[in-house]
Amino acid sequence: MTSTLYFPIAGCGGTSRAAASLFDRRWLIVDPSGVWLDQDACAKLADIQVDAQLGYLVMRAQGMLRLDIPLDVIEDDDSVRAKASIGGQQVDVVDEGELAATWVSNFLGRPCRLMKLDPAGTATLWR
């Protein structure tokens, strides 16, 4: 029997936890220009283990402390809203902050940021 994998952070490791199905590809990691990093651009993304449990997006990677980010935060601060590019498509995103940016940048060895797709935004075509 095979289980379905869900990828809360697009391009990172997946989880078979059914609760994660609600958060499949809700987050992405972008470079300083706001372009989505997929595994073609950064193979090390696959080494980030991601899960959704007890109301948190849980990120783990070798040599890093676990990082927990609340799953369902309604963001009302417009200063953290931005645009990101996914395969040439512009999407509305919400920046998850400095702690998450530092975590992913340190692990990947390059400047980048963790972004959440704006739930009020349009459908995203992953390419």
- pLDDT at position 94 is 92
What value does the mean pLDDT of the chain take?
Answer: 90
Range of the domain at 112: 18-117
In a domain, 124, yes or no: no
In a domain, 5, yes or no: no
User: Domains in the chain: how many in total?
Assistant: 1
Task: Tell me the one-letter amino acid at 88.
Answer: G
In a domain, 12, yes or no: no
pLDDT exceeds 70 at position 2: no
Contacts of 101 (CB under 8 A, 6+ apart): 95, 112, 113, 114
In a domain, 70, yes or no: yes
In a domain, 52, yes or no: yes
- pLDDT at position 123 is 67
Look at the pTM and tell me if it is higher than 0.85.
yes
